[in-house]
Every structure is written in C-alpha cells, then in structure tokens.
Structure 1
Amino acid sequence: MIKYSWAKYNDKPIHISDVTLEMRKNGSFLNIITNEKMTAYLEGKFKPHFHHLNKTNFSNETYLHEVAKEVFKEAYLNSIENKIPFYLEYPINAECDKHFKQTKIICELGRKTETYDLTQTFDKLKVEKGFDEFVPDIQLLSTKKPTEIIFIEIEVTHKSTQKKLNSGNKIIEIKIENDLDIINLKNNILSFNKVNTQFYNFKLTTITKDFCSQTKKGCRESRKVFVLNKNGSYEFLDYYLESILGEIYSNNDNIKFVDYDLERFYQKGKSESENQIEYLNRKGIQIRECELCRYVGYSRKKINKKDVRLSLFCKFKKESTESESAINCEYFRTKKH
C-alpha cells in the first residue's frame, strides 16, 4: 500500500512535510488523482503521510506520474503569475567578442552552459491536450511565438515512443523514480546536466557575446601578437590577450603596427624563431636584429649544473652584444633556413 506524500490543499499540490497542525485542523486535503478526501497523519509510529478515507489505491507508477505532472504544472504557473524565473540550462558553443572591436578576434571558448528563463517565451501551458497525433503530458506554449512548443514528458517506467522522439518536436523528458524527484520539480530549473532529464530535438547553437566580462578572472585567452615599434624594434608577445592589450594601450604612441593573430602564419615542425622570420618575410617587414643574424650566438654559464644562457654573443665580432645593435651593424646577415 502506498503511503501518499502528496495531496491537494486549496487546489494546489502540497507535500506532507509542508503540512502544519493548523492546516490539518482547519483545512481539507484531496487526492491529486481522484479528488477524494484524505487525512494527514503527522504524528505516531508511522512516517507522516496522507491517507485515503475510503482506502482507494493506485499503482506507484500512476501515482508518481500524475503527481509529477501536477507539481510541475503548479510550479510553472506560479512562475508565470508571480514573474519568478523558471530556468532552462542548455549547452552552447560559446564565442567571445570582448576584444573584437580592437583586434578583430573572436575567441572560441568551446562548450558552455547557458541559462534562459523559459517564462520569457513560454507563457502558457496545457496538460494532456492533443497536438497533431500526440498527447504530451504537458505542452509549454508561447503567445509571442505560436509555432514554438516544448513537450514536457514524465517518465516513470516508460519512455516516450520513438515516433514521438523522431517527430522533430522539442521534448524534455524527466525521469521520476521517487518522491525526491518530484520535490525537485519545484526548484524551477530544467538542466541538460541532470542525469534524470533528457532533451530531444534541441539544436546546439553558437552564441557570440562578451563572455569574459561575466567571469571574475576576465579574459584568459592566450595569443601570439606581433608589435612593431616606430624605432624599428619589435616584439613577439605570447601571453594573455588582456595583458597584451593593456601593454599596447600604455605604449600606443611608440607603436607603428600590431598583428593580433599570428597563429595563421605558424607552421608545425618549425621552431618559434623560424616561424617568426617566416612571418616577417611574408609581411614584407624588414627588421635588423641580432637574433635574426646568422652570426648570433649566446654566452653561457653552468649554474647548479645547468647550462644557462646569459647574453647575446656576436660570432663575427667575437664579443657580447645587444639585440638592437644589428640596426646599425655592417656585418648583419639574415639567417639561412
């Protein structure tokens, strides 16, 4: 025999844990399925429950299915009437355009979870009403977009038919196994991340917006960026884009040219310096720098048994040098690759 945890009170579903002694004394409880009178047992040797006066019983499957529909319906209608969000959590392909205006870069962030208030679109519902050849448990309907419909299906022992799943209609199937699953329907959220909730015929969409400003850490995208200064010196920067932009902004008066997307020039199998030289050649940028010279070397020293590079060394002049010395060096010769 089922010890019922749910009943109707003032025409709304109520869980036995929410019933007070005052409500039991002055109120009337009805069976959610048959509207027959029920009594609330709150004390004694048995676990609190509702009891039929005429001992009507149902299968556990029927009970869970009907109560879940009623609880979901009431939770959703309450959200609409009181302007309380009822959220849908769903996966998207995320693209961040925070720095697009300055860099023309849109960063691909991969799969993320987006949250949407269903009541902003779906402001009506129907329970067990026909739609084409199907009778969904619940239909979420939209006044703004009449063609937009979501089926809410309660699965206790039987899943939706394959014909319904293949119909192309958006379906959210919620598996109900126990009383706790029904209580969770009152949390006002349907999520792809919940194991008891399956989504059918929802398309994975790409959303492009400023995602990084929504996080505490901000933009964490790493990029290879080329900066050419007005004095002929240059840098290949390779760290967080946000930090690079801050550095460029603070030094803007001295900068001649910036390229924010070196990845398209870089080839696998080549070293970093080889790729950088290839980049400069393709862009037609003539730069004289010791590290690009065929005579470049490095002075080294053993520190704690490790070979540490200390400074640049010119093999032709056989002396230490600074990278910028190549600008006016008569012995500068571009590396051969």
Structure 2
Amino acid sequence: MKKPYLTYALSAEGKLVHIDSVANGKECGCFCTYCGEPLQAKQGAKRKHHFSHLSGTECEAAYESMLHLLAKEKIQEAFYNRTSLYMEFEYTSFCNQDKCIFMSHSRRCSNKEKRRIDIKEWYDSCEQEISYDNIRRRSDLKFFSKEFPERKPIYIEFCVTHASDEAKLHSGNKIIEILIEDEDSISSLIESGLVEKSKTVGEEWEGRKIKIVAFYGFKTKDYNNSNINESVWLTRCAFMPSGKIYLSNEHCNCKQIKRKDHRALCEVVFSAHNRYEAYNYAYTICSQKYHISNCNSCRNFVTVSSWFDAPYKMCKMYKSLQLHLEDFRTTGSFDTSRAKKCRFYSQVNVILDDTVEYFII
C-alpha cells in the first residue's frame, strides 16, 4: 500500500509548516518531523504537493510523526482561535434502587444521554508536552485553568499507530485519547469536537471494536437517579383471611406498585414469571407470617395426575375425613380454608430459596 504524502515538515526554526507555504525544491529548508533529515518540496503540476527526503530513502515513521505533531498544533490553535471547543461523551445515570427485585442480574435500569461540554468554559490555557501531575509521563496537550488552578486539568493523548500505555490511561487523570488516521480526522475533531466514538474493524460479525475518541478518568455514570421508572412484569399473590391465595400476572410501573385487593391480609409480589413457584412461596410466606392454616400448605394436600384426566389437588386423608374424590376434581369446588379445623393438618416445611426475591405490601 502506497504511503500518504508528507504535507507538513519542520522549518529551520522548528515550526510545523505546510508544503504550500515554503519554497520549492531544496530551498524549502525543511526537515523530517521524525528522523530530522533534510527534505525537498515537490510542488509539481501532476501530483499532490508534498515533501520527500533528499536522501531518496523515505522514513517509515515520517507520516505518523507528522500527523502527531499536526494534531497537537491544530487542536491548540483551535482552542485559542475559536470561540468554543467541545467534548462529548455518553453519561449513564442508574436507578438509585440497588435492591430492586425487578433488576436483572445483568442489567440495572438506567438513562443514557450525550453530555456536550465547551472546554473553553472551564479552561483558559492549552500547552503542549506538559508533564502529568502525578506520574512521570508527558502529555501531548494539557487543558488547564490559570484562573482556577485547583481545577483538575484535561490531558490529550494522540495515537497514530500505538495506543497509550494502560498505566497512563488509568492513572486517575482526566485523559482523552484520540486515534488520528489522517489529516481529515484532525479537521473533523476541530469542527465536531472531541466526540466519543468507536468503529468496527473487519467484518461486522467477527470484527473488533477500536476506540477513535475515548475518555478516561471522567465521571461518566452515577447511581442516584430517582426518576427512572419502567413497566415490569410481576406476579401478585393476594392472601385472604380464609387462607386462600388469589394469584395474577400483570404489567405495572415499578414505582407505582400498590395494594390492589384491600380485603387481603397482604399481597406478596414476585418478579418471577413462574406462577406455580410464586403460588407455593406465597403460601409458605403468609402461613409463617399469619399462622393461618390452608389445605394448600398441608403436606397431605397433593397433586394427582393421570393419562385420562387433568391434574388436580386432593387430600390424601379424604377417606378418613369422609370426603368424596369428586369434591376435588372440579377446580374451585373444594374449600381449602377448612384446614383450620382439620385434625390431619400438617404444614409443609418449605425452605425458601434465597435467590427468589419478593416484597410484601
């Protein structure tokens, strides 16, 4: 692949100059930004104007070095010459309820927004090659405030082929690392601002993401959002004075979950979708809380299923209680609250799984 043309070089005074601002040929008096060798200016009519090494051997790192110096020059110029210079990154505000039962194991409810900040509103100075305050490294650029010296500065790191080392990026300083690919990417930074972004290299399904503009050491999230609310799917179990439980599934706003049936002693709300699991747990919870007997929490009340009939629950002691089997086969026909006076009642000792979350209202 043909290397891009060198369009900038160092003058005899050490300033970065453009190809069209110097004399043609050897008289340009310019030097390579990387190796320091003399260059000649080629300002012909056929090809793009560019510099080349007088020795005839092109320096491998010359273009990358030129981009690096150019980025520092152009961003510093933009800071001092433009009315504003923006930076923009994604800010995530998480729900302040850290024990919400509706929070999935992999996701906490949050709001995301783009925060766009004018750097010039906070900083009045920009210098090149300034050391970090707390590590023995030099930054490409440093934004700082002379008026408010206690204000934490922002450091800029430009990378063309090699990213900054991890120790620097995670040193606790506010750092914006910027990948420079060509001169156009530098122009884009000035026009659009230092906007957080990335791109996928390679095929979409197997490529890797690389960061074009990345922010380190900035506050990009909080856990104090009390305004987030979402529609959640819940299982509600209403526990009646009779010991019966009425179960329903519904969507509800997570911040507006209230008692629905005021006849109930309480309502147990689960985030679980498993109605059978919620039903059994609710009976155990309510039986322990109110000490009300119900057939559904008795070890003698079991589920019966056969190949010719739908599953139903029945009492194993029905003969001793002089009950008929048909009393159990019709859903809702058997009064499970009779357990209060049943001599065979024996509560099931259910051990509640700690991972099942619920609350009582």
Q: Smaller-chain TM-score range?
A: 0.5 to 0.7
Higher alpha-carbon deviation: 136-145 or 169-178: 136-145
**Helix, strand or coil: the match of 2:16?**
coil
Within a 5 Å distance, the mapping from 1:109-124 to structure 2 comes to: 109-110=107-108, 115-119=114-118, 122-124=122-124
Task: From 171, 176, 182, give the equivalent of 1:172.
Answer: 176
Q: Provide the alpha-carbon RMSD of the alignment.
A: 4.9
Within a 5 Å distance, the mapping from 1:208-219 to structure 2 comes to: 208-210=224-226, 212-213=228-229, 218-219=230-231
Aligned partner of 2:64: which letter? E
Tell me, yes or no, if the aligned pair for 1:290 and 1:322 is still in contact at 8 Å. no
Cα-to-partner distance string for 1:56-99 (whole Å, 9 max, x where unaligned): 88921232113333554577779x946x8631136x6x6424xx
Tell me, yes or no, if the aligned pair for 1:289 and 1:325 is still in contact at 8 Å. no
Over the matched positions of the two proteins, sequence identity in percent amounts to 20
Task: State the partner residue of 1:279.
Answer: 285
Aligned partner of 2:68: which letter? H
Tell me, yes or no, if the aligned pair for 2:236 and 2:270 is still in contact at 8 Å. yes
**Helix, strand or coil: the match of 1:118?**
strand
1:61 equivalent in alignment to 2:72? no
Task: State the partner residue of 1:12.
Answer: none
1:130 equivalent in alignment to 2:143? no
Task: State the partner residue of 1:195.
Answer: 211
Task: From 188, 191, 207, give the equivalent of 2:223.
Answer: 207
Structure 1 residue 105: Cα displacement: 6.6
Aligned partner of 1:172: which letter? I
**Helix, strand or coil: the match of 2:181?**
coil
Task: State the partner residue of 1:333.
Answer: 345
Structure 1 residue 2: Cα displacement: 4.8
Higher alpha-carbon deviation: 169-178 or 228-237: 228-237
Aligned partner of 2:182: which letter? N
Number of residue pairs matched by the alignment: 276
Cα-to-partner distance string for 1:34-56 (whole Å, 9 max, x where unaligned): 267459xxxx975xx6x36xx58
CA separation in 1, counterparts of 2:293 and 2:7?
82
With over 3 angstroms needed to count, the CA separation of the structure-2 counterparts of 1:116 and 1:230, relative to structure 1, is farther
Cα-to-partner distance string for 1:95-137 (whole Å, 9 max, x where unaligned): 424xx6xx98794734976643333874545131635465422
CA separation in 2, counterparts of 1:96 and 1:129?
41
Task: State the partner residue of 1:18.
Answer: none
Tell me, yes or no, if the aligned pair for 1:95 and 1:209 is still in contact at 8 Å. yes
**Helix, strand or coil: the match of 1:336?**
coil
Task: From 14, 17, 24, give the equivalent of 1:34.
Answer: 17
Task: From 229, 253, 257, give the equivalent of 1:242.
Answer: 253
Query: TM-score under structure 1 normalisation?
Result: 0.57
Structure 1 residue 333: Cα displacement: 1.8
Task: State the partner residue of 1:152.
Answer: 156
Task: State the partner residue of 1:290.
Answer: 295
**Helix, strand or coil: the match of 2:156?**
strand
Task: State the partner residue of 1:86.
Answer: 87
Query: Which runs of 5 or more residues in structure 1 are unaligned?
Result: 7-31, 264-270
Tell me, yes or no, if the aligned pair for 2:196 and 2:214 is still in contact at 8 Å. no
CA separation in 1, counterparts of 2:337 and 2:240?
13
Aligned partner of 1:139: which letter? K
CA separation in 1, counterparts of 2:171 and 2:303?
69
CA separation in 1, counterparts of 2:278 and 2:102?
24
Tell me, yes or no, if the aligned pair for 1:96 and 1:106 is still in contact at 8 Å. no
Aligned partner of 1:89: which letter? E
CA separation in 2, counterparts of 1:203 and 1:288?
55
Structure 1 residue 153: Cα displacement: 0.6
Query: TM-score under structure 2 normalisation?
Result: 0.54
